[in-house]
Structure 1
Amino acid sequence: MFFERLRMLDAKSGVEYVLTDYPKPGQTIEIAQGIHWLSTPLPFRLRAVNLYLLEDDAGWVIVDFGYSNDEVKAQWEQVWASTLKGKPVTRLIATHFHPDHIGNAGWLSGRWNLPVMASRAEWLTANRLLGGPGVEDKERSRRFYLANGLSEDVVRGMEQGYVPYSRGVSLAGAYEGLSDGDRLRIGGDGWRAIAGGGHSPEHLSLYCEERGILIAGDQLLPEITPNVSVWPDEPEADALGLFLRSLDRFRAELRPDTLVLPSHRRPFRGALARIDEIRDHHRDRLDVILEKAAEGPVTAGGILPFLFPQHLDALQTMFALGEALAHLNRLAAMGRLRREAGDDGIVRFHAGVSSRGH
């Protein structure tokens, strides 16, 4: 997935990395007692995703599975031979439906004869994307991107660069529902599921309050922010509002000394400072949009150069457009902008009070 890069963190940010390097391919690092960190490669710009193995009494619990390809599967085979100490995998937990997280669900489920534990919304979304009604509605997507200010040439490039979800994902035949607030006992520790929104429909992080450890998934990352986008099937969604409320919840519930195990980049401490930094970043982006809207109506495509001045390839443009629209929809939900579709079919946002403000 595309992730928006923030400035590199420095000592003033309050974020402290607990390790200087990543695990070697096919090997794990015991990042905390009974918790092993595996980093597997990705075939796109983000490069790697972090997966975690938790030692349990009867075996091992795997949290997230990596992108489904032969290279990642080979690394899993190495890990099973070196890390599991002869004990089996007893539970499979997916934080959310994105390919780098749930990709090997079907393969792992078959290997260990287990269902996949996930939230209902994430599981249903994954199944829909593997072939449900409307998943390949390219004409609807084309209309969505054109209506939000992208040119025909840009949309054509996005279509040519489109990678099907199924390329990196296989799903198990059955799953076990996991919901916000559910508690799991793993290796004598209590873990609580915390649902978040904005990045995906019902993303689950796992928090062990007693030990002060958060398996964050993509909801809380250092150096980069998770993509928070609006998509063609829900064009007026307030994805950024959901994400910011999720950050507020983390800020209220996490211990200040929490060890955060993110899905990308290195494990770190300083969760509360990082949450504040991410909130400030999004507030700055909202201010930029308001300044541009004060000069005249804006489209999501039209503000991309001001939010993302770097060169964007076709895939990055798709995610950047979704991010821009998420910020515009947030301002409309706040009553700061008014959303209108013109006679030409283009959606523009005007300065002024919106009837949806809240």
Structure 2
Amino acid sequence: MIPNDIIYPGGAKTMQITFIDAEIPEPGTLQKVAPGIFWLRMPLPFDLDHINLYLLEDNQDGQEGFALIDTGIGTRETEELWDTILDILGKPITKVIVTHMHPDHIGMAGYLVEKFRLPMYMSQAEYFTARAIFAGPCGASDWQDDEYLVRCGMSEDYVHNAKKNRKESKGIRQVIRPIPLQFYRLQAGEHIRIGAHEWQVYIGRGHSPEHVCLFNKDSNILISGDHVLPGISPNIGVYSTEPDANSLKMYLDTLPQFTQLPEDTLVLPSHKQPFHGLHTRVNDLIGHHHAHLDNLRVFCEQGKTIEQCLPVLFKRKLNSHSMNFAIAEAFAHLNYLYFEGEFSREINAKGQFIFTLK
């Protein structure tokens, strides 16, 4: 990890990471975090058991209400919590802004858009990726999913069980309400007006294709989604849909732009708590991934499979849910080193990728 007293080219030291002095909102309640901005939480059925959502005072076509940043996972429990929140607000949602296409962010967008007949804002790549994933395989074979796991060095039993689980699962439709057929596109450098303020769009990549972050220079607030999180790193993965993706490079390339924002920016993340210390956190995240890369350089002096590299990156025990993300994360780090020309990547007699330090 890069220490918190790292010196920047301008000569100033970074701030320590500090959380705001506000209680974490219980499900179904609101917590004010800045003038006109309210923080709420929705539960998630994962190890990371919550997502932060934000309501911003807004005026759409003369109607007062709240713009919503992200929506929660598409379950009955979340719907009931939304009904509670809407009763508390006493005003409608005016627009839904989705930072990216993962189910905890877009899951309830269709429900809210339909309920209020309101516009939904996303980046283009996130919107169409969400539509594609929601549509499912549409009759296409899943042999490439199997091949992906073989390439990763997973056992025959693991590949067989994964295939069985895919056939038995109802897929992503279980946790995403039908996605609206219309969206308004957010692009890097553009602004979206929310209430009395203009918010500039920043795009992050690597965790998802075209992740939207929003910055307001008047209030000095960054809505960071999953791109910049305190205490944890977002999953940066390579999945079966694009096995030659260089996700980690995309992530590392789109982090430094946030050090150009004011150091004392208030960051509103999708998980954990709102915080100050943006520059420090960005550099911690960069340092975190470079430490993993250094460890892999040492470990892969002799060729290794992706599965063999998991203990180098993850010290905790991995359950079936987290294993999927861990495989993808290890793949992303090894692909990075491969595309940088530091590693070779060969396929052995078992069909597995073997990564070796050159």
Regarding TM over 0.5, the answer is: yes
Is the Cα–Cα contact under 8 Å of residues 158 and 315 in structure 1 kept in the other structure?
A: no
| CA deviation vs aligned residue, 1:290-324 (integer Å, no higher than 9, x gap) | 00111x11111111122112211112111101000
Residue 303 of structure 1 corresponds to which residue in structure 2?
309
Q: Distance in 2 between matches of 1:135 and 1:32?
A: 48
Question: How far, CA to CA, are the matches of 2:174 and 2:348 in structure 1?
Answer: 37
For the Cα contact (< 8 Å) 1:260–1:267, is it kept in 2? Answer: yes
For the pair 1:65 / 2:71, whether they are aligned, the reply is: yes
SS in structure 2 at match of 1:130 = helix
Answering whether residue 168 of structure 2 is matched by residue 166 of structure 1, we say no
Q: Is 1:124 equivalent to 2:124 in the alignment?
A: no
1:106 aligned residue (99, 110, 116): 110
2:218 and 2:197 map into 1 onto residues whose CA distance is 8
Aligned-residue Cα RMSD (Å) equals 1.9
Deviation of residue 202 (structure 1)? Answer: 0.4
* 8 Å CA contact 1:148, 1:300 repeated in 2: yes
Rounded Cα–Cα distance in structure 1 between residues aligned with 2:207 and 2:237: 7
5+ residue gaps in structure 2?
Answer: 5-13
* Alpha-carbon distance in 1 for matches of 2:159, 2:262: 45
| Structure 2 residue 84 is the aligned partner of structure 1 residue 78 | yes
Distance 1:135 1:275, change over 3 A: farther
Matching of residues 137-148 of structure 1 within 5 Å: 137-148=141-152
- Judging changes above 3 Å, is the alpha-carbon distance between structure 1 residues 158 and 251 closer, same or farther for their aligned structure 2 residues? farther
Residue identity in the other structure for 2:264: D
SS at match of 1:224: coil
Write out aligned runs for 1:334-353 (5 A): 334-352=340-358
3-state secondary structure, aligned to 1:59: strand
C-alpha contact (below 8 Å) 1:31/1:37 kept by paired residues = yes
Counterpart check, 1:329 vs 2:335: yes
Displacement of 1:115 in angstroms is: 3.0
What CA distance in whole angstroms lies between the structure 2 residues aligned with 1:293 and 1:158?
27
SS of equivalent residue, structure 1 residue 260: strand
Q: In structure 2, how many angstroms separate the alpha carbons of the residues matched to 1:61 and 1:179?
A: 18
C-alpha contact (below 8 Å) 2:68/2:96 kept by paired residues: yes
Does the Cα contact within 8 Å between 2:22 and 2:31 map onto a contact in 1? no
Equivalence for 2:94: 90
Segment drifting more, 105-114 vs 149-158: 149-158
Alpha-carbon separation, structure 2, partners of 1:13 and 1:291: 33
The corresponding residue for 2:48 is 46
Q: Per-residue CA shift, 1:19-70, capped at 9, x if unaligned?
A: 3531022111011000010100011211100011000133210110000111
CA distance in 1, matches of 2:308, 2:139: 27
Amino acid at match of 1:166: R
Residues 15, 263 of structure 2: 8 Å contact kept: no
Of the three residues 203, 206, 213, the one matched with 1:205 is 213
> How far is 1:119 from its partner?
0.7
Cα deviation for residue 134 of structure 1 reads 6.4
1:251 aligns with 2:263: no
- Does structure 1 retain, via aligned residues, the 8 Å contact 2:51–2:271? yes
Q: Larger deviation: 128-137 or 297-306?
A: 128-137
Instruction: Give the aligned partner of residue 223 of structure 1.
Output: 231
Aligned to 1:3: none
TM-score normalised by L of structure 2: 0.90
Is the Cα contact below 8 Å between 2:23 and 2:31 reproduced in 1?
no
User: What corresponds to 2:16 in structure 1?
Assistant: 14
Find 1:312's aligned residue among 302, 318, 321: 318
Q: In the alignment, is the contact (CA less than 8 A) between 1:158 and 1:314 conserved in 2?
A: no
* Residue in 1 that maps onto 2:195: 187
Q: Is the 8 A contact 2:53 2:70 kept in 1?
A: yes
Give 2:26's aligned amino acid: K
Please tell me the residue identity of whatever aligns with 1:223: G
Q: Is the 8 A contact 1:128 1:135 kept in 2?
A: no
Distance 1:87 1:182 in 2: 28
Distance in 2 (alpha carbons) for counterparts of 1:212 and 1:318: 37
Following the alignment from structure 1 to structure 2, what is the Cα–Cα distance between the partners of residues 75 and 29? Answer: 15
Please tell me the residue identity of whatever aligns with 1:213. Answer: I
202 and 79 in structure 1: CA distance in 2 versus 1, 3 angstrom threshold: same
**Cα drift, residue 159 of structure 1:** 4.5
5+ residue gaps in structure 1? 1-5, 353-358
Task: Indicate the larger mover: 304-313 or 100-109.
Answer: 304-313
Please state how far the C-alpha of 1:175 moved relative to its aligned partner: 1.3
Q: Which amino acid aligns with 2:218?
A: E
Partners of 1:75 and 1:331 lie apart in 2 by 44
255 and 136 in structure 1: CA distance in 2 versus 1, 3 angstrom threshold: farther
Are residue 284 (structure 1) and residue 291 (structure 2) matched? Answer: yes
Deviations 1:152-194 (A, max 9, x none): 2233444455662111001112211111122012121110111
